[in-house]
Structure 1
Amino acid sequence: MERFPWLLKFLDCHEYVSVQVHPNDDLARRLCPTELGKSEAWVIVAADPGSRIYAGLLPGVGPADVEAHVRAGTLVECLHSFEPQIGDCVSLPAGTVHSLGGGILVAEVQQTSDATFRLFDWNRPGLDGKPRPLHLHEALEAIDWELGPVSPLTPAPLPQPATCVTQSELLIENEFFRWERYVARAGDWQISNDRLAVWTVIHGRATLTHGDSPSALRLGESLLIPPSTIPARWSFDGPTKLLKVTAPLAERPG
């Protein structure tokens, strides 16, 4: 059976997440035959002052540097990092070394895959009191050494779809997904639902009426809307922010 193309989740990080890297589709077929590769993206929903995102390697860092620092427990010295701001969107294509610091809540979209190689776990014990296993050799093979440091993306404005929508923008589009963000005030918005879409509320609340069936969504809730000729309408009773995931609009050249 064909798998659903995306996983959508919230990561509520009270502690540092292990430093990881995910393989691309080709490498996943060889190292994790039941999995796809894993490209993903984050939108920052909340972040404590001083929190950090680690995304990409510092310029000039190569395989020998990473291996030596992993073995020494000092991999953080190889990682690019920045303090996230609410609303930042971060693209993490397969092969990007990454981690989330504590005090961050992100919305995530990713390829449907569990292929993950752990590089570093901040020198802490697991639940059994022993260090969790690392996947150094697989990770070194999975890293895209051409990527370098990763910083937040600059969204691209989209046409205003309704008078109650005060901001609409394209966050990211790659070969796996397209992610859009909409900011709305009180009012109604008749939407086109000719393509499969997953909507997520990241601020406020909203009601989606599909035909005669209303569905109320609060912060953190998502709704899948299949392609349909039945009219659909968003209703907002106050300030609301929504994320929308679809397939990319056009096939990109290989």
Structure 2
Amino acid sequence: MSTRGTRLYPLRLTVTAKPLVFGGHAIARRLGKTGIPDWSIAETWECSDVTGAGGVVTDGPLAGRSLRQVVTEHPEALMGTGWSGRYFPVLTKFIDATGALPVHLHADDANAQRLEGQRNGKTEAWHILDAAPGATALCGVKDGVTTDRLRAALEAQDFDAVLRRLPVRAGETLYVPGGTLHSFGPDTLVYEIEQTSDIQQHAMRWNMEDGSPVGDAEFGSNLDMLMQQVDLETRPDFTPGLSVAVGDGVERVFLCAGPYFALERWRAGTAEPLRHSFATAQILSNVGSPVRVRTGAWSEELGRAETLLLPAACGEVEIAGPADVLFGYLPDLDRDVRGPLREAGHPLQLIGTLGGSTDTRAEAIRSANLG
């Protein structure tokens, strides 16, 4: 039965927990997330419209509806004026890299469509919530490495010979375009935001689901596909983000921004609540203590490491402090990112360091409409 006449409200979605071999117990024990299995968990998919792992609304009039059904039945109320995409375009996760992730890449849009038969690829960003002293990440191919040298190193599993190893610090963010070889961990806890996709190509001789060995024929085939998709020129770096003062004891930090997603971290003390107005759906994830969330007449507590999807129709949200939360969304880059940052005095060149922010929201909308 259609719910097209239902007024949208903040949506709680089911979470998919992934017990991959690099995981541990940090999402439950360090972030305080409840309701997930009491075994080694690598990822929790907080807001997902990936086929086969999509979120389902858990409460209210839309309970039992999948996120994809909500997008289909309430496109503009959920996503904002002018939206007509067929799926929710942003995926968010908590990732526990107690062990190191496999070295892998995700295709960009063009290669996903050309080689994988997928509607879009996967650009992503990592916001580091916690990392052990000396933690590092691999991201991007070293300058001057040829395709032949890269393949030989991947075959030998000699990743440091050809990939950049970067220092990892809590609070920093890395924007990772599709086609970029990467890995992070061990001892790293991440909030990841990305295009809605589970597309990937690995360069490992083991499977990340259970650690079982990958045979020579399969490994060679995997490398064949990976080498067709790898970008040898992309070498992203971590950034601390760009901050905007928005109230007494309230801080807004733009962590990353590009055509497919933007991510902000807001902190508030007790002098005044956090108040945020928006025109597109917001994925609100709590990375601090439990908080009280209000929008219109709706008011509920959001616990540790819990997530709410705030439809565009809500328009604004108020969160009482102390608060430490993340907002992820599909941006109109001029309205949602460049405008407030320029007003705060940040030059356009510096804003560009947040990611692919020279592009426009239209590119992401076109990608979503392919679905």
Q: Aligned pair 1:139/2:226, yes or no?
A: yes
2:158 to 64, 74, 82: 74
Deviation digits for residues 28-86 of structure 1, max 9, x if unmatched? 01222134200000110111122221111111112111111122221232111122111
Secondary structure of the residue aligned to 2:148 is: helix
The residue aligned with 2:326 is 243
The residue aligned with 2:108 is 24
The residue aligned with 1:40 is 124
Secondary structure of the residue aligned to 1:10 is: strand
Change (3 A) 1:56 1:115: same
Matches within 5 A, 1:1-254: 2-121=86-205, 127=210, 129-131=212-214, 133-134=218-219, 135-148=222-235, 150-158=236-244, 160-165=245-250, 167-186=251-270, 187-228=272-313, 232-236=317-321, 238=322, 240-250=323-333, 252=359
Change (3 A) 1:126 1:204: closer
| Letter paired with 1:93 | P
Secondary structure of the residue aligned to 1:172 is: strand
Change (3 A) 1:49 1:95: same
Q: Structure 2: any 5+ residue segments left out of the alignment?
A: 1-71, 73-85, 335-358, 364-371
Secondary structure of the residue aligned to 1:90 is: strand
Q: Distance in 2 between matches of 1:128 and 1:157?
A: 41
Q: Distance in 1 between matches of 2:192 and 2:207?
A: 25
TM-score, structure 2 length as denominator?
A: 0.62
Q: Distance in 1 between matches of 2:110 and 2:269?
A: 44
Secondary structure of the residue aligned to 1:99 is: strand
Q: Distance in 1 between matches of 2:153 and 2:114?
A: 26
Q: Is the 8 A contact 1:193 1:225 kept in 2?
A: no
Change (3 A) 1:207 1:125: closer
Secondary structure of the residue aligned to 1:34 is: coil
Q: Which has the higher helix share?
A: 2
Q: Distance in 2 between matches of 1:126 and 1:191?
A: 39
Cα RMSD (Å)? 2.3
Q: Which has the higher strand share?
A: 1
Secondary structure of the residue aligned to 1:144 is: coil
- Which deviates more, 2-11 or 137-146? 137-146
Q: Is the 8 A contact 1:35 1:114 kept in 2?
A: no
How many Å apart are 1:104 and its aligned residue? 0.5
Deviation digits for residues 82-112 of structure 1, max 9, x if unmatched? 2211101011010111001211000000000
Q: Distance in 2 between matches of 1:208 and 1:126?
A: 36
Change (3 A) 1:179 1:126: closer
Q: Distance in 1 between matches of 2:171 and 2:100?
A: 20
Equivalent pairs, count: 248
Secondary structure of the residue aligned to 1:110 is: strand
Q: Distance in 1 between matches of 2:212 and 2:87?
A: 36
TM-score, structure 1 length as denominator?
A: 0.88
| Letter paired with 1:247 | L
- Which deviates more, 47-56 or 221-230? 221-230
Change (3 A) 1:111 1:129: closer
How many Å apart are 1:124 and its aligned residue? 8.6
Q: Distance in 1 between matches of 2:209 and 2:277?
A: 48
Percentage identity across aligned positions? 24
How many Å apart are 1:6 and its aligned residue? 0.8
Change (3 A) 1:185 1:95: same
Change (3 A) 1:64 1:163: same
